[in-house]
């Protein structure tokens, strides 16, 4: 799964890199959070967590202009997909990821996979490795967080899906509170090496696939399925980071810094398979 990632770019940077036509990240949108988001939506967030508003790139016509030419947009969407037919928006907490192997068949995702695909920009993602040798105070495998990013230093573009949920309690459809727009990140089998950290990883699309993935007119199931295929290994690098990332309250660029080997306990090196650090 992918339950945390780093979204460190400013909207103006994303607008340039993803060739966005309309930056709509400053528009008022509905949030599911009870307390104000920290850091504020649309600013660099080194510990993006479910239910937060995150920058997402998608292509669609402006509201009320279905016949108009779709335009590439940058928007803030809530992480955790809520299907349009859902009775309760809290269901999105359980739908932060969608499996590439079944996304075209599952009712919660199939329609979005056909017409509402998006890109989720990220510096990289966090995943927790269960130590094969070290245990915590309760005797359970000690979990070490890793940060994974592109080896070439480029931005990760996670394949995602988005949905609109209409709140029947809000009468005015033009009220931003009437609509909750959410997204999920598609995951696939972890490639060799990264599978020593976790058995799943986000599906990261290369630039050559961005336009096809974002094209709402591409609805052929076989063509979409081809874009969901795993990519060749070797695109990523991973290193252990501080356990501070496990707290929602932790943030900042220090979360991405490699943890010294002296602070590692029973960590399995994803590239070599070597155990690093004492088990006790």
pLDDT of 161-196, one tens digit each?
999 999 988 878 888 888 999 999 999 999 999 999
Measure the CA–CA gap between 115 and 251, rounded to whole angstroms.
34
pLDDT (tens digit per residue) in 91-150: 767 899 999 999 999 999 999 999 999 999 999 999 999 999 999 999 999 999 999 999
Q: What is the pLDDT of residue 172?
A: 86
d(C-alpha 157, C-alpha 19), whole Å: 13
Q: What is the pLDDT of residues 230-276, one digit of tens each?
A: 999 999 999 999 999 999 999 999 999 999 999 999 999 999 999 99
d(C-alpha 49, C-alpha 107), whole Å: 25
- Does residue 28 surpass a pLDDT of 60? yes
Give pLDDT, residue 63: 63
- Cα 230 to the center of its chain, rounded Å: 17
Tell whether the model's pLDDT for residue 62 goes beyond 80. no
Is residue 212 very low, low, confident or very high in pLDDT (cuts 50, 70, 90)?
A: very high
The mean pLDDT value for 188-211 works out to 97
CB 266 within 8 A of CB 142: yes
pLDDT at 88: 82
Cβ–Cβ under 8 Å, residues 121 and 6:
no
Distance CA 123, CA 48 (A): 11
Contact (Cβ atoms closer than 8 angstroms) between residue 188 and residue 236: no
Q: How far apart are CA 45 and CA 251, in angstroms?
A: 7
pLDDT at 280 over 70: no
**How many CA atoms does the CB half-sphere of 232 hold within 13 Å?**
1
Query: At residue 1, does pLDDT exceed 70?
Result: no
Residue 37 confidence (pLDDT) above 70: yes
Alpha carbon distance, N-terminus to C-terminus of the chain = 28
CATH top class, domain 4-125+154-235: alpha beta
The two beta strands, 236-240 and 200-202, are unpaired
pLDDT computed for residue 278 by the predictor: 76
The whole-angstrom separation of Cα 137 and Cα 270 is: 25
CB-facing half-sphere around the CA of 168: CA atoms within 13 A: 5
Give the gyration radius of the chain's Cα atoms: 19
d(CA 66, CA 64): 6
């Amino acid at each position: 799964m992918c339950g945390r990632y780093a979204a460190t770019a400013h909207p103006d940077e994303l607008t340039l890199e993803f060739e966005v036509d309309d930056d709509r990240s400053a528009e008022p949108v509905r949030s599911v959070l009870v307390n104000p988001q920290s850091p504020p939506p649309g600013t660099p967030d080194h510990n993006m967590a479910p239910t937060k508003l995150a920058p997402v790139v998608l292509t669609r016509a402006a509201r009320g202009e279905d016949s108009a030419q779709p335009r590439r947009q940058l928007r803030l969407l809530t992480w955790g997909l809520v299907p349009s037919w859902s009775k309760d928006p809290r269901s999105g907490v359980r739908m932060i990821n969608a499996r590439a192997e079944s996304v075209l068949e599952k009712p919660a995702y199939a329609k979005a996979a056909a017409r509402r695909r998006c890109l989720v920009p990220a510096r990289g993602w966090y995943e927790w490795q269960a130590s094969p040798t070290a245990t915590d105070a309760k005797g359970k495998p000690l979990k070490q967080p890793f940060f994974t990013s592109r080896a070439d230093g480029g931005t990760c573009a996670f394949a995602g899906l988005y949905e609109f949920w209409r709140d029947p309690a809000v009468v005015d459809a033009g009220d931003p509170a009437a609509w909750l727009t959410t997204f999920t990140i598609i995951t696939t089998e972890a490639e060799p090496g990264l599978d020593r950290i976790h058995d799943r990883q986000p599906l990261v699309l290369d630039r050559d696939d961005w336009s096809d993935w974002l094209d709402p007119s591409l609805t052929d199931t076989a063509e979409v399925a081809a874009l969901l295929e795993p990519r060749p290994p070797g695109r990523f690098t991973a290193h252990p980071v501080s356990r501070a990332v496990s707290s929602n309250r932790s943030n900042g660029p220090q979360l991405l810094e490699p943890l010294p080997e002296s602070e590692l306990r029973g960590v399995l090196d994803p590239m070599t398979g070597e155990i690093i650090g004492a088990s006790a």
